[in-house]
Amino acid sequence: MLMKSVLQALALAAVALAQDSFRLQSWNIRYDSLPDGTSVDSTLGSLDQSIPQDGGPYYADYEEQPWSKRRIGVVNDVIFNRADIFTVNEALKRQVDDIKELLNQLSGQTWDYIGVGRDDGKEKGEYQAIFYNKQKAYRKSDYTIWLSDTPFEPSKHKDAGAYRSTTVARFETVSGTPFTIINTHLDHVSNDQRKLSASLLRQLGAHEHQHGDGPVFLVGDLNSPPEGQDSGAYKIAVGSENTVSINETFAQRFDASNAKNFVFSDLLGETDAAQRSGHHGTFNKFEPISSPDAVGDRIDFQFAGTIKGESSKKYKVERTRVAEVFYDLGYRISDHRPIISDISIQK
């Protein structure tokens, strides 16, 4: 019996040594639509340090608040959830800088981010930024593409409502295990743009899967649910609908022999039902909690790259949650909910 216990312990230790893990949080944080110029220090200095009194009113402050009020809640959520990689959609330059400042100030650890403004490839427009805890991961390389017919320069699809970009970053954990994060945000107006985007991302993902030395994870707001008239982008991503024609130079630049069989797998489906928690919908809007519109659609996702027919994978999803953004005495810190997953990866 003793020998059996020793062998079991050794087997478990061997598995642990062969695996690494990280916590991934992705979130559309809502752009700074009500700018007021309030500094981070001013917001921190104005916080009421007393214990709130009972009696409410509860869930009353549902309308959109300025970023200067929301940012503390966003960063506290990331810190409390102990995310190692944190991605954002819709963040403007001020917002990514505020998040970095607050993460470094409040967490006691060192954070940095990767990403550019989508309108000019520098600082103008929304960022699809990837934040990373430098005590947990190292950045190896990164780049940005645009989700249009001219993907190598700041550009907009002819039918799109806005410029749309994607940030790609290769990382290693502190113990040297590689993985790639792709953070994207598809258009809210054009279904054609979303389908083109998903097709570009399939090609890009196949390339990273083949050449990046580790698992590939795609996260972000697709503006495309799994079912219904706007589901084309999601279905292309998971391989249940064919890709559309993409830029030939892009296909050559991101060549991959496995491209036809590469798809993205929805991490919710990869997670054991006993390890799923939180909400279903991710887009909750700025609505009263009693409103049917506050339930929200599932349009934000986390995926992992896979090859059709392959049984072995370089990762495992341990658990996943769609978290909360509206607490009883607070206000909605975004109109989207964050997704949080614990992921094990093979060394």
Q: What pairing do the DSSP bridges indicate for beta strands 262-266 and 276-278?
A: unpaired
Q: Do the Cβ atoms of 266 and 301 come closer than 8 Å?
A: yes
What pLDDT was estimated at residue 18?
66
Answer yes or no: is pLDDT of 7 > 50.
no
Which H or E run includes 85? Answer: strand 85-89
What pLDDT was estimated at residue 15?
45
Q: Mean pLDDT, to the nearest integer, of 151-177? A: 98
Answer yes or no: is pLDDT of 17 > 80.
no
Per-residue confidence band for 4, with pLDDT thresholds at 50, 70 and 90 = low
Q: Looking at per-residue confidence, does 104 or 309 come out higher? A: 104
Verdict on whether the full-model pTM lies above 0.85: yes
Per-residue confidence band for 263, with pLDDT thresholds at 50, 70 and 90 = very high
In 3-state terms, what secondary structure has residue 99?
helix
Answer yes or no: is pLDDT of 311 > 90.
no
Mean pLDDT (the chain, rounded) = 95
- What DSSP character marks residue 189? S
The CATH number of domain 21-34+55-345, selected from 3.30.465.10, 3.40.50.300, 2.50.20.10, 3.60.10.10: 3.60.10.10
The strand pairing partners of 333, in sequence order, are none
In 3-state terms, what secondary structure has residue 150?
coil
Lowest mean pLDDT segment, chosen from 14-18, 46-50, 273-277: 14-18
What pLDDT was estimated at residue 295?
87
